[in-house]
Amino acid sequence: MTPPAASGPRHIPVLGREVMDWLEPREGGIYVDATFGAGGYSRTILDTDNTRVIAIDRDRTAVSGGFELVDRSKGRLTLIEDRFSNLADICRGQGITAVDGVVMDIGVSSMQLDEAARGFSFRADGPLDMRMGSSGPTAADVIAKASEADLANIIYIFGEERHSRAVARAIVAARKEAPIATTRALADLVGKVVRGKPGDIHPATRTFQGLRIFVNQELDELLSALSAAEQVLKPGGRLVVVSFHSLEDRIVKNFLNERARVSGGSRHQPESAKAAPSFAILTKRPVVAQQDEVAANPRARSAKLRAGERRDAPVYPAAEQPGWPTLDSVMRGG
């Protein structure tokens, strides 16, 4: 048996065992770890003989942290700094046209949350950044530039904050007096508008979530990444996705549902024109963490895993992007 690709303590991702159960790495298979992070999925896949992994992360810190694993893999791991929406192009750039599996862990990582300088969390004060990559507008830039209406939409749509209009009004009023540049400044401001009850999440949680998703265009990236995975998976290849809130999970669920059933067509479309299913759904209901994992890692409480298996049918047309605010339009002010 090929020895493990790395030694020492391993980072164990949420639902790590379940992910591998559904991914089913095979000897000699080629896999895409679309969200490398601390390398937990890649390490486990590489434990299977002669597997090859194309790993992707837009976070330069995560990529640099994976260099040792790349060295230990002896050429079986390729680690690339890029957005996972580009995974089909990345595979083609490596001379790979078909893979045996794609795995994705969606959202912000615990490493990013724990680093105050990244500005993802209000648990410690830091610059209001929130970028997973190293380019583009920060959350502070969005707070400074976006109109009140855009801010309300961002916080409502991506943060699911029902007090979004009040939060947006408070932000616009406060930024007239001084820039809102730190996580604590924004959290304190939101805390004056959104009143929490004992035992509830922090009043600023949903506002921070909405800004983070918007700054990183996370839902647009997910939609594009799912379509890209459909392009590169060979028949019988597995797609396994772990998400952490309802917006992400709904996108994954709808993607698999649409591609797993024969199109109903319409009166304007003949029977022969119906699209054949490109996926079979493997998880009829989302897989969730067991109690022991939740006790050890509270973040696992919200995790949902969905899996599908690629069928021998053409790729579906890419889904149209929903009509939510875009980073470019908000920063242009139009």
Tens of pLDDT, residues 277-312: 999 999 999 999 999 999 988 888 999 999 999 999
- Assess whether 229 and 211 both reside in one domain: no
Answer yes or no: is 169 within a domain. Answer: yes
- Assess whether 91 and 209 both reside in one domain: no
**What is the mean pLDDT of the segment spanning 128-146?**
91
**What is the mean pLDDT of the segment spanning 258-270?**
63
Can you read off the two tokens belonging to residue 25?
Answer: 């790495």
Answer yes or no: is 97 within a domain. Answer: yes
Q: How far apart are CA 210 and CA 217, in angstroms?
A: 10
User: Which helix or strand (DSSP H or E) is residue 226 part of?
Assistant: helix 218-232
- Assess whether 193 and 142 both reside in one domain: yes
* pLDDT band for position 105 (cuts 50, 70, 90): very high
- Assess whether 92 and 226 both reside in one domain: yes
Q: How far apart are CA 110 and CA 125, in angstroms?
A: 16
CATH code, domain carrying 165: 1.10.150.170
Q: Chain-wide mean pLDDT for the chain?
A: 89
CATH code, domain carrying 306: 3.40.50.150
Number of separate domains in the chain: 2
Answer yes or no: is 1 within a domain. Answer: no
Res. 1: pLDDT tops 60: no
Question: Which structural domain range is residue 297 located in?
Answer: 16-110+218-264+272-310
Can you read off the two tokens belonging to residue 231?
Answer: 């392009």
Q: Within 10 Å of residue 262's Cβ, how many Cβ atoms?
A: 10
- Assess whether 225 and 285 both reside in one domain: yes
Which pLDDT value is given to residue 2? 45
Quick check: helix, strand or coil at residue 123? coil
Q: Within 10 Å of residue 290's Cβ, how many Cβ atoms?
A: 12
Strands laid side by side in the 304-310 sheet: 77-81, 52-57, 30-33, 99-105, 233-243, 304-310, 279-281
Determine the residue type at 150.
D
Answer yes or no: is 168 within a domain. Answer: yes
Greater model confidence, 11 or 159: 159
Burial bucket for residue 116 (CB in 10 Å: 0-12, 13-18, 19+): middle
Answer yes or no: is 183 within a domain. Answer: yes
- Assess whether 234 and 102 both reside in one domain: yes
**What is the mean pLDDT of the segment spanning 9-29?**
88
Q: Is the pTM of this model over 0.85?
A: yes
Can you read off the two tokens belonging to residue 223?
Answer: 């939609």
- Assess whether 300 and 226 both reside in one domain: yes
- Rg of the Cα trace of the chain? 21
Tell me the HSE value of 234 on the side-chain side, using a 13 A CA sphere: 10
Q: Contact 26/100 with Cβ under 8 angstroms? A: yes
Answer yes or no: is 174 within a domain. Answer: yes
Q: How far apart are CA 244 and CA 232, in angstroms?
A: 25
Strand partners, 77: 53
- Assess whether 237 and 306 both reside in one domain: yes
Answer yes or no: is 129 within a domain. Answer: no
**What is the mean pLDDT of the segment spanning 318-323?**
79
Can you read off the two tokens belonging to residue 216?
Answer: 């990183």
- Pick from 215, 231, 256: which residue ends a domain? 215
- Pick from 184, 215, 246: which residue ends a domain? 215
- Pick from 215, 248, 283: which residue ends a domain? 215
- Assess whether 103 and 173 both reside in one domain: no
- Assess whether 197 and 209 both reside in one domain: yes
Answer yes or no: is 60 within a domain. Answer: yes
- Assess whether 242 and 198 both reside in one domain: no
